Amino acid sequence: MRFSSAGTIAAEGQRMPEQAAELSVRYGGDPSEHQARFLTPGIIQGVDLVLTMAREHRSAVVRAVPRANRFTFTIREFAALFEHLVEVTGDEKHIACDGDVPEQLRALIPLVAAQRGVTLPPRTRTTTTWSTRTADRRPPTTPRASRPGAPSSRSSSRCGP
C-alpha cells in the first residue's frame, strides 16, 4: 500500500507550508523530505483512491480524468459516506485488518461510493441520527467512537492497537 500527495495548484518541488508541516509532525509525520508535485492525469489514472481537501480539488481531479468520479472524494465526504455505510449495514467490520488489507480497502471504495445520494427517509431516522447529523462538528477523520454519546465499541475499520 502506498500513499502519496499531489496538488491541483502545486508549485513543483516546493516545501510543505509551515502550518502543514507542524500538523504533520503533531500527528507523527516527517515533512522534511516532502516536495510538492503537480497532480497530473497520469498520477490520477494510476491510483485506487483520491482524497481531496476541498470540493474544488475534487472537481479538478474529475475534470482531468472523468472516470475518477468513481474513486475521488473529499476527506469529509468519504468519512460521511463510510459512516452512512456503517449506519445502513449495521456493520463496522468492512476492514477486518487480517489478511490482505490493501485488497479490503480496494473493495471498500465502491461500497462507499454507492452511498452517494442515499439518505434515510426522515420518518425512519432516529433521534440519535438527527442529532448526530445536525450537531456533529468534529473534524471529518475523528473516529466515531471518540464522539460524545457515540457507541463505546472500538471500530474494527481501523487497523492496529
What's the mean pLDDT in 17-45? Answer: 93
Model pTM score: 0.67
Percentage above 90 pLDDT, the chain:
43
107-122 pLDDT per residue, tens: 889 989 999 886 655 5
- Return the pLDDT at 123: 52
C-alpha to C-alpha distance for 121 and 130, rounded to whole angstroms: 11
Question: Looking at the predicted structure, is the pLDDT value of residue 18 above 70?
Answer: yes
Rg of the chain's alpha carbons, rounded to an integer?
17
pLDDT band at 50 (very low <50, low <70, confident <90, very high): very high
- Return the pLDDT at 140: 52
- Return the pLDDT at 71: 95
Query: Which of helix, strand or coil describes residue 38?
Result: strand
Whose CA is closest to 116, among 78, 157, 62?
78
C-alpha to C-alpha distance for 21 and 15, rounded to whole angstroms: 9
Residues 6+ apart with CB under 8 A from 47: 71
Torsion angle of the four alpha carbons 152, 154, 155, 160, in this order, in degrees rounded to the nearest 10: 160
55-100 pLDDT per residue, tens: 999 999 999 999 999 999 999 999 999 888 888 777 666 666 677 7
CATH number of 18-73: 3.40.50.2300
Find where cell 448526530 sits. Answer: 132
- Return the pLDDT at 148: 42
Q: In the chain, which segments carry CATH 3.40.50.2300?
A: 18-73
C-alpha to C-alpha distance for 63 and 57, rounded to whole angstroms: 10
CB 49 within 8 A of CB 24: no
- Return the pLDDT at 106: 87
C-alpha to C-alpha distance for 89 and 108, rounded to whole angstroms: 13
Output the DSSP codes for 48-113: S-EEESSHHHHHHHHHHSGGGGGTEEEHHHHHHHHHHHHHHH---TT--SSS-HHHHHHHHHHHHH
- The 10 Å Cβ neighbour count of residue 84 is 17
